[in-house]
Structure formats: structure tokens, C-alpha cells
Amino acid sequence: MHRELKRDYHDFLLNLIPRHLLSEERIGSIIEALSRDERGTLVRESYLSMEELCRKGVFIKRGIRESGNRINIEYEEAGNQKRFTLEMNKSELKAVSPVKHEEDQKEFIPGVFAKIISALSLNSSRTVVGKVNKILSLTPRVKPNSRAFLVLNNKLNIVGTHSNKNICEKDIDSILENQLYGKVLKRKKLLIISDSLGMKKSFFELHNDVKRVVLFPLVSEGKKIGVLEIHCFNDEDIGKPTLLNFFILGQGIIRLLKNNIQLEQMVSVDKLTRVNNRNYYETQVPLELERASREKKFLGFLIMDIDHFKIFNDKYGHDTGDQVLRLIARTIKSHLRKIDLFIRFGGEEFVAVLPGANREAAMRTAERLRNVIEKTKFKTEDGRELNITISIGGSIFPVDARNQSELFKNADRSLLKAKRSGRNRVVFF
């Protein structure tokens, strides 16, 4: 905006500002200001509209610059490069921006709490990232000109979460080794950082205008879930009411993630074998492939099939067949790493996904599993000893496949070769 040019403000309100994101009250005031076409009302509505958009998280106030009697207020669209600058004199700024005391932040508590509650309903894990981001987006309502991020412990294996611009997944050792986050989680106390040296330890990119970083530990029932990180873009002190609102945001995230874990236990665990099921496969494997592609790492993929499983059902009955499935699932799971995914894909077929495993590592794992099953004497509940073997087909991303469909097909073809060549063996694509 060029100083003293009324027309710039008129065009800004008429053509540039995203009015569809504003409240009805604000839109009504803008229409009235445009009809009056007076500089004072145009400046006021431009300022109040941008402040409302900041509270909603659509824009971030980047700072206020003074040059003599002239004031420049800079705004940047969240997640975009679009910027607006409002120019006015000091008396105009004083007229349009009444001072708000820290106690005024108390009014945000009910609204923030209501928004959090609306995000907590149990739903498909595919929406977890969206729900977390919804809670994070409430931050500007707690403190204007602030933005929230989440450092998440990836060893919790929370289905549906993945790293993005607002969420950083790290193993807990890396989090605790970081001086910034380790101090917060170990002491279970919030930390306010105002020195640039301390802020540089953040896992997130820090904008030059960040003045303070606030860290909240996310801990529940002894589990270190992660850290809520707030970036503040002004020098104002952060009082207790604001910190209380940030605490509520953190508790909302904890509750959301725990709800997700409960949901996954209900819909993603096979009732017979107590390992993950096909639903888990369809939600989690794409995320693992995305992570492997982003981090430029290998991903091992195994399909395992119990040899001659039909005989157990036909000869001993389906109860014995169910016992065989439970025994095999329990044995295989105990010989995989915690980060590996293990799924009952259907019938007597199981899938293992091995993050970071190249061909050599995946073949070693597959052969170890085959050997363990072959040498184990399985006892049924009525005391019968059964000799069980499995056949395994494997493929590696990205060497053998460019996507999930190819990865499965190539491993399945390898499994078929293992079956046709005598069973009880490992074949890789």
C-alpha cells in the first residue's frame, strides 16, 4: 500500500483480500467502508480484516516497521509466498489497533477447547495428519502472530502420521539427544527460548522474524509422545493465560493420538492372530513407501505362506488350523524388529515390511524366519506336535519396484516360484 493513497486500500478490500474467509460481520463492515470510500474507514477495515485472518491462521503477521511517522505492517499467507503490506501513519494505527491486555487471552480458552473437542472424534487413520494440523492451526487464536509445530516420537508407530512442514517424526533417541527437546522431555517442563543460538537447535526451519520459541512436553502415562513447538513472531511477553491455552493444545494432541491408537486396535488388528490386518496394510504401507522414497532408503517386502496349510484344516480340523495360524504369527513376530510391519494379509498368508532393509538384509531376515519355523516343534493345545514350514517371496523398493503395486506383485511372483520349486524356501525377485 502506498502511503496516503486511498485508492490502494479500496482496491485491496475490493479485489485482493480473501473475503470468503472472513466473518459475516467483517464482510458487512467492508461493504460499508467501500460505499463510504473514506480513507479512515478503508484503513480500519483493511487492518481489522488482516488481523482476523491472522487469528484464523490464514496469514501470519511478519512485523511492524517504523520510518518517521510512517508505519508498515507486513503479513504473509501461511504456507504460501503471498505478502501484503499495509501502510499508515502512527495516529491511524493507534485509532485502529486498541491495546489488548494479557488477560484478554482468557477468552480464547473456551473457543480453543471447543475446536479441539471437534477434532477428537474417532475416525479413519487417514485423517490423523489433518486432525493434528487442525489443532496446530488454532495457535494464532491463542496468540496472534504465532505458529505451531509438532516433534513426534516415531517409535510409537502411530498409524496415519508422517512428517510434513508442521510435523517432524524422529526416533526418541534423536529427540532426547537434541539439547532443546531433551531438556523439555526429561524435566517434563515447558521451556521459553528467546536467544537465537538456542532456537537454532530446532528441527524446523526458523523464519528470521521468530522472536521466541515455546516448547511443551507431550507425555502421557509415562510415554514420551513428543514436543509441541510454538514460534512467536513478536517480542511481547507470554503470560500465564496464553501458556494455559498452549497447554490445552498439547493435551488435545495427546488425546487425539491416543484416540487414534484405540481406533487402530479396534479396526487394524486381526482377532485370531492378534497381529495387524489388511486394513493396517492399506493405511500404513503407503506411508512407509513415502518415507522410504523421501529419505532415499530401501524397503524390504516379504510375502510368507504356510506350506500345505489345507492339510491341517482337513486332517485335524479348523480349530487346529486356527492354532497353527496363531503359533506362526507369534513366532514370526518375535523374530522381527520393532520397526518392522507384520500383517496377516489373508488366509494363511502374511506380509512383513522391513524399513531400511536392502536385498542382503531382507534375504537374511527371510531365511532366518524360514529356518526358525522349520526347526520349531509346534505343539497344539491337545499336545500334538506339528512340523510346519513356510515359503517366502521377496522384493525390494526401489530396486525391484517403483510403487506399492509392483512391490507386491513381484514378491508374490517370487512366492509362487518358491512354491513351485519345492516349498520351504526363500526366493527374491
- What does the alpha-carbon distance between residue 196 and residue 208 come to, in Å, rounded to a whole number? 10
Q: Which residues contact 277 (CB under 8 A, 6 or more apart)?
A: 268, 269, 270, 343, 344
Give the E-state strand segments of 194-340 in sequence order.
212-220, 223-232, 299-306
Q: What is the pLDDT of residue 254?
A: 85
Fold topology of 278-428: Alpha-Beta Plaits (3.30.70)
Q: What is the pLDDT of residue 240?
A: 81
**Number of helices and strands in the chain (H, E):** 16, 15
Q: At what angle are helices 309-316 and 318-334 packed, to 10 degrees?
A: 140
Whole-prediction pTM: 0.49
The answer to whether the beta carbons of residues 406 and 399 sit under 8 Å apart is: no
Cell numbers at 78, concatenated: 501461511
Three-state secondary structure call for residue 137 = coil
Residue 234 DSSP symbol: S
Tens-digit pLDDT string for the chain (429 aa):
444 455 788 888 888 888 788 888 888 888 888 877 788 888 989 999 998 888 877 888 877 888 888 888 888 887 677 888 998 888 888 888 754 444 444 444 555 555 555 555 555 444 677 788 888 888 888 888 888 999 988 777 555 555 678 888 888 888 899 888 999 998 888 999 887 777 778 888 888 788 889 999 998 888 889 999 999 988 778 888 888 888 888 888 888 887 776 666 667 788 899 899 988 888 889 889 988 998 899 999 999 999 999 888 888 888 888 989 999 999 999 999 989 999 999 899 999 999 999 999 999 999 999 999 998 887 777 777 888 999 999 999 999 988 999 999 999 999 999 999 999 999 999
In order, the DSSP letters of 360-408 are HHHHHHHHHHHHHHHH-EEE-TTS-EEE--EEEEEEEETTT-SSHHHHH
Q: What is the pLDDT of residue 101?
A: 42
Q: Which residues contact 85 (CB under 8 A, 6 or more apart)?
A: 1, 72, 73, 74, 75
Q: What is the pLDDT of residue 351?
A: 96
Cell numbers at 292, concatenated: 522410504
- What does the alpha-carbon distance between residue 168 and residue 189 come to, in Å, rounded to a whole number? 20
The dihedral over CA atoms of 171, 138, 62, 183, expressed in degrees to the nearest 10, equals: -30
Residue 340 DSSP symbol: S
Q: Strand pairing partners for 377?
A: 387
- What does the alpha-carbon distance between residue 151 and residue 161 come to, in Å, rounded to a whole number? 11
Give the E-state strand segments of 117-198 in sequence order.
146-153, 167-170, 191-193
Among 153, 151, 143, 152, which residue's Cα sits nearest to residue 210?
143
Among 147, 292, 310, which residue's Cα sits nearest to residue 233?
147
Among 108, 106, 133, which residue's Cα sits nearest to residue 119?
133
Residue 179 sits at φ, ψ, to 5 deg, of -55, -35
Among 232, 78, 246, which residue's Cα sits nearest to residue 165?
78
Q: Which residues contact 84 (CB under 8 A, 6 or more apart)?
A: 12, 16, 17, 50, 59, 74, 75
Q: What is the pLDDT of residue 125?
A: 45
Q: Where are the domains of the chain?
A: 6-98, 103-267, 278-428
Among 101, 58, 93, which residue's Cα sits nearest to residue 76?
58
348 is catalytic: yes
The dihedral over CA atoms of 184, 187, 192, 196, expressed in degrees to the nearest 10, equals: -60
Q: What is the pLDDT of residue 220?
A: 84
The answer to whether the beta carbons of residues 240 and 151 sit under 8 Å apart is: no
Q: Which residue has the cell 504460501?
A: 80
Catalytic residue among 4, 76, 348, 367: 348
Among 51, 93, 56, which residue's Cα sits nearest to residue 72?
93
The answer to whether the beta carbons of residues 138 and 157 sit under 8 Å apart is: no
The matching CATH number, chosen from 3.40.190.10, 3.40.50.300, 3.30.450.40, 3.40.720.10, for 103-267 is 3.30.450.40
What Cα–Cα distance (Å) separates residue 343 from each residue in 16, 124, 154, 392?
52, 18, 19, 14
- Structural element, H or E, at residue 93: helix 90-96
Q: Which amino acid is at 291?
A: R
Q: What is the pLDDT of residue 413?
A: 96
- What does the alpha-carbon distance between residue 151 and residue 218 come to, in Å, rounded to a whole number? 9
Q: Which residue has the cell 511477553?
A: 237
The answer to whether the beta carbons of residues 398 and 293 sit under 8 Å apart is: yes
What Cα–Cα distance (Å) separates residue 401 from each residue in 280, 365, 398?
21, 20, 5
Cell numbers at 362, concatenated: 531382507
